[in-house]
Structure formats: structure tokens, C-alpha cells
Amino acid sequence: MGKLRPGTIILVVCLLALAVLPWFAEKYYVQLFTKMMIMAIFAMSLDLLVGFTGLVSLGHAAFFGVAGYVLAFAAPEYEAANLWVSLPLAMACSGLLALVIGVLVLRTSGIYFIMVTLAFAQMVFFLFHDTEFGGGADGIYVYAKPVAAIAGWEPFTLENHTHFYFVVLALLVLVYTGLRILLDSLFGRVIVGIRVNEHRMRSLGYRTFRYKLACFVLAGVLAGMAGYFAAAQFGFVNPETLGWHQSGSVLMMVILGGMGTLTGAVVGAFSMILLELGLQGLPAIGGMDLSKHWQLLMGGFIVCAVLLLPHGLLGLGRTASRLRRKPAEARDG
């Protein structure tokens, strides 16, 4: 075993705090943290593309939203869907969509990739927005949370907010651990190699398209997992969940937390949602109601974060130590 790094210790402490939270927090906060953990899974799935493979996608919400719709369709009106059927189905649909879109968009790169992912996601958005089968612009309700029954036996019930919380926490840990293992595997080394120097990967004999596609599909499947639980929690899906606002906001979470680290994506998701709440709760000072302009303040904060923290919130330590080291380096040079 290697030495315990400070990062590992912080990680374990945070995990323990999350594990005991439902015993101390009110329902509202338990649900808030559930939402944050769902978004953290979503952000990690995008980070796999943006931070590790170097594919900046502006259409990632399509896979998130579609899974929510699958849940809505899988639940007959006023009846609950079965978790063990509808969750794999939703993730498979997201994966399939990612496969179709991926085959087309991965032929481009750089700015074109950003634009084409955006375009495809908007196509999916308008497919749901302008047709009636998904309730059009109004969306549809998911009246009951999925039931986790296996032949009559229910290990947990998602109607209970604490159970829901622990299911999502377990999935967060599972996805995080799974991706850590993945990134250390042969496949993980290849995708990072593609981000650093795709041209050289090709000349070394790698068919990079395949690996990028596999990564794109995997990211879509995980986004689908997050989208499924988001829809189950809100009890409602509408086209906004797969629109470009959603794609942009999860991309900001990844950038804010620090691209290319899984913990960064989690930190980004948590801090962005907390920040949003904090800013919305600002009091009126003088004649100005600050909370009404929370989006403006949020934008300003993100601009500052990007300018001042090139490695994101998680890179705070790295940025600080580099600043301290600078004079010495200048001397050596």
C-alpha cells in the first residue's frame, strides 16, 4: 500500500460525512444532496470526455435527458416502473443514442466537434419539444418512483427519501471507483494518450476512432444513469433536461471543479449547486435585490474562477504552490 496522501484523507472524510448526513439533516437537505450527487455522476461522465479524452462536448445533456424520458415512458400512468428493468433500459437507450451520435460527431475535432455535438443535442431537444409523444414543451410527469421489487421482495424503496439518498450515494461511489479503475487500465491510458497527442497515437498504431467512440458511449451510458435518477427525483421530465443550457451547466461544473480529475467533477457539481442556492438566497441590499441577479453573480464568479484557477477549485493547492515557487524558478532559469 502507498502512503496516505492528504487528498485521500479528505476524500474519505467527505465520504463519511455523506454517509452519515441523513441522520443529521432535514429532508430538504437530504434531497438537495441527492440532487448534487446525481449531478456529480453526470459531471464525472462528461469529464471522461472533456478532461480525459479531450473531447469537449456541448451536447452531453441529450443522453441525460433521454434516460429521463425512458423512465417516464416505462412508467404506465399512475403506476411505478420496475427499477431493475427501466434503469438498464434507460442507460441502454442513452448508450445507443451516444453510439449513433458518436459515430457521426467523432469524425470532427476541435471547434467543429463542439458545434456538431451541440447541433445533435438540439435536434434531440426539438424532437421532444415539437412533437406530442413526449408531452411536447410541457414534458411529462413521472407519477411514481420506480420500485426495486425482485419477485415481490423490495430491498429498498425509492419513495423514501433516505433510501433514495443512499442508492444515489452508492452509485456515486460505484461510478467513481469504476472510473478510477478504468483510467488505470489499458483503455484509460489510451484515452489520455489521445487527449495529449492523438496524432502520435495514430502513428503508433492505435485506431483512435474506436477508443473515442467507446468512451463517448460509456459517457452517454453514465449520463443516462444520472438522468434516470434526476427524473425519478423531480418526478417530471421536460425538454429542458436535454437542452443546451443543461449541457452548458454540466460543462461549467467540470471546468469549475477542475478538468481531468474525477474528484474535480464531483467538487464542481457540489459547489455549483451550493453556489446557485447561496446566491439565490442573497438578501436585498439598499434598493437592490441581489438574489434577483444571481445568474449575473454566478457568471462573474465562474469568470473569476476560470481566470484565477486554471486547474479549477480542486487545483487550488497546485495553483497556490506554483505561485509560491515562481520566484525560485525564475532564479534558477
Nearest approach in angstroms of CB 214 to other proteins is 7
Indicate which single residue of 156, 166, 206, 301 sits in contact with other proteins (rule: CB under 8 A): 206
Indicate which single residue of 29, 85, 150, 189 sits in contact with other proteins (rule: CB under 8 A): 189
Stretch that binds other proteins, among 51-59, 102-110, 138-146, 184-192 (CB under 8 A): 184-192
Nearest approach in angstroms of CB 256 to other proteins is 22
CA distance 224 to 213: 16
Would you give the binding string for other proteins spanning residues 210-249, x where CB under 8 A is met?
xx--x-----------------------------------
Q: What residue has cell string 439518498?
A: 165
Contact 233, 36 (CB under 8 A): no
Indicate which single residue of 141, 143, 187, 301 sits in contact with other proteins (rule: CB under 8 A): 187
CA distance 49 to 254: 11
CA distance 83 to 144: 11
Report if residue 193 touches other proteins, rule: CB under 8 A: yes
Indicate which single residue of 27, 107, 207, 326 sits in contact with other proteins (rule: CB under 8 A): 207
Q: If DSSP codes are grouped into helix, strand and coil, which group holds residue 150?
A: strand
Contact 72, 141 (CB under 8 A): yes
Q: At what angle do helices 27-47 and 208-234 cross, to 10 degrees?
A: 170
129-138 CB contacts, 8 Å cutoff, 24+ apart: 129/239, 134/69, 134/72, 134/73, 134/237, 134/239, 135/238, 137/238, 137/239, 138/238
Stretch that binds other proteins, among 61-69, 89-97, 195-203, 293-301 (CB under 8 A): 195-203
Closest CA to 247 of 42, 33, 41: 42
Nearest approach in angstroms of CB 122 to other proteins is 31
Indicate which single residue of 160, 185, 295, 321 sits in contact with other proteins (rule: CB under 8 A): 185
State which residue, 186 or 285, has the beta carbon closest to other proteins: 186
Indicate which single residue of 27, 107, 202, 245 sits in contact with other proteins (rule: CB under 8 A): 202
Applying CB under 8 A, the residues found at the interface with other proteins are 181-182, 184-190, 193, 196-197, 199-208, 210-211, 214
